[in-house]
Amino acid sequence: MPAPPNKFCGQCGAPVTRRIPEGEDREREVCPVCNFIHYRNPIPVVGCVPEYKGRILLCRRAIDPRLGYWTVPAGFMELDETLEEAASRETREEACAEVRLGELFSIVDVPRAGQVHFFFRAEVVNGQFEPGVESLDVRLFAPDEIPFDSIAFRSGIIALRRYL
């Protein structure tokens, strides 16, 4: 679910109103005092499909939502990073694995959550991995062993199917 609407202007603190600003085609939160327009944009989520010797590295989630389900390493992008840096960091955090990123191969819009998910191809560099703080387990799966019925999020299923 997207973030709740702004009640106050982030520029001057006045209560905002919803209206269609001049030159726009949709309602936005607008400050009646300073006329600042508050644009609500999707949040980028970045991950990768790490492969090692023909097998795919998946993480079993230790946190909600979807606690106990499998996922590819992915998460919210930080303000000071590139897409590639975010994908590598999330893989280190969730799987304690270093990866060599390949091409960006999957972009999935998740409008009801206010997100866009980006996935890279990746190769696990040294074959070392273990559960990070957000993972109960980390495991390599042959393509025909991937537990698609236990994958946490639709975007992960889409990325895995596109990868394979």
Tens digits of per-residue pLDDT, 127-141?
Answer: 999 999 999 999 999
Delimiting residues of CATH 3.90.79.10 domain(s) in the chain: 43-163
List the CATH code of the domain at 1-40: 2.20.70.10
Query: How far apart, in whole angstroms, are the C-alpha atoms of residue 81 and residue 134?
Result: 20
pLDDT > 70 in the chain, percent:
99
Q: Is 144 helix (H, G, I), strand (E, B) or coil?
A: helix
Residue 4 has pLDDT above 90, yes or no: no
Nearest of 33, 12, 11, 29 to residue 20 by alpha carbon: 29
Distance between alpha carbon 12 and the CA centroid of its chain, in Å?
Answer: 31
Chain segment 52-80, per-residue pLDDT in tens: 999 999 999 999 999 999 999 999 999 99
Query: How far apart, in whole angstroms, are the C-alpha atoms of residue 43 and residue 128?
Result: 30
Delimiting residues of CATH 2.20.70.10 domain(s) in the chain: 1-40
Query: How far apart, in whole angstroms, are the C-alpha atoms of residue 146 and residue 84?
Result: 25
Check if the beta carbon of residue 138 is closer than 8 Å to that of residue 57. Answer: yes
Query: Mean pLDDT, the chain, as a whole number?
Result: 97
Q: pTM for the whole thing?
A: 0.91
Query: How far apart, in whole angstroms, are the C-alpha atoms of residue 88 and residue 122?
Result: 9
Band (pLDDT 50/70/90 cuts) for residue 1 is low
Element (H, E) at 89: helix 83-95
Q: Is 18 helix (H, G, I), strand (E, B) or coil?
A: strand
Q: Domain spanning 43-163: which CATH class is it, in words? A: alpha beta
Give first-to-last CA distance, the chain, whole Å: 29
pLDDT > 90 in the chain, percent:
96
